[in-house]
Amino acid sequence: MNYFYFIFPAVIGGIIVLQTGLNRQIGPRLGWPFTGMMNNFFGLCLATCLFLIFMYFFNDRAIEKDTSFHWWYILPGCLGMFFVMGIPFSISKIGAGQTFVILVSSQMFFGMIWDRFVQGLEVPWQKIIGAVLAIIGAIITIL
């Protein structure tokens, strides 16, 4: 079993807390619209650099040859923007602990819906119980 695939999401979870905490500090000082624009600008710069590195080292294998474009291709970027701006806003209102408990439990719930109805995967009862317990934990943090 490759433990990297289990450690990686935990590291990303820590990065998300750090990133949203920093946004929480920057947003009130520079304004939320500017903070969002700045995040996206530097994200675009990093993505462009990574794209060029992949193009150079992998000789064009990093790009699929399908050139069709669908309107919904813009949704991940728009949804990401809501995430980047919404989490710091939530932290400013209810705190980091409650924000991330609610976030993770909702991700578990919607992840199971995605797995079942989009990916066509069976959702084992253990995952359902885990998600229910996480949601109960989120409710307890609100009380």
DSSP characters over 20-82 = HHHHHHHHHHH-HHHHHHHHHHHHHHHHHHHHHHHHHHHTTTTS-S-----GGGGHHHHHHHH
Other C-beta atoms closer than 10 Å to the C-beta of 16 total 15
Taking the CA atoms of residue 132, residue 136, residue 80 and residue 10 in that order, the dihedral angle to the nearest 10 degrees is -80
Q: What is the average pLDDT score of the chain?
A: 85
Span 89-134, pLDDT tens digits: 888 888 888 888 888 888 888 999 999 999 999 999 998 999 889 8
Does the pLDDT at position 61 exceed 80?
no
Amino acid present at 98 = Q
pLDDT at 89: 83
* pTM of the model as a whole: 0.68
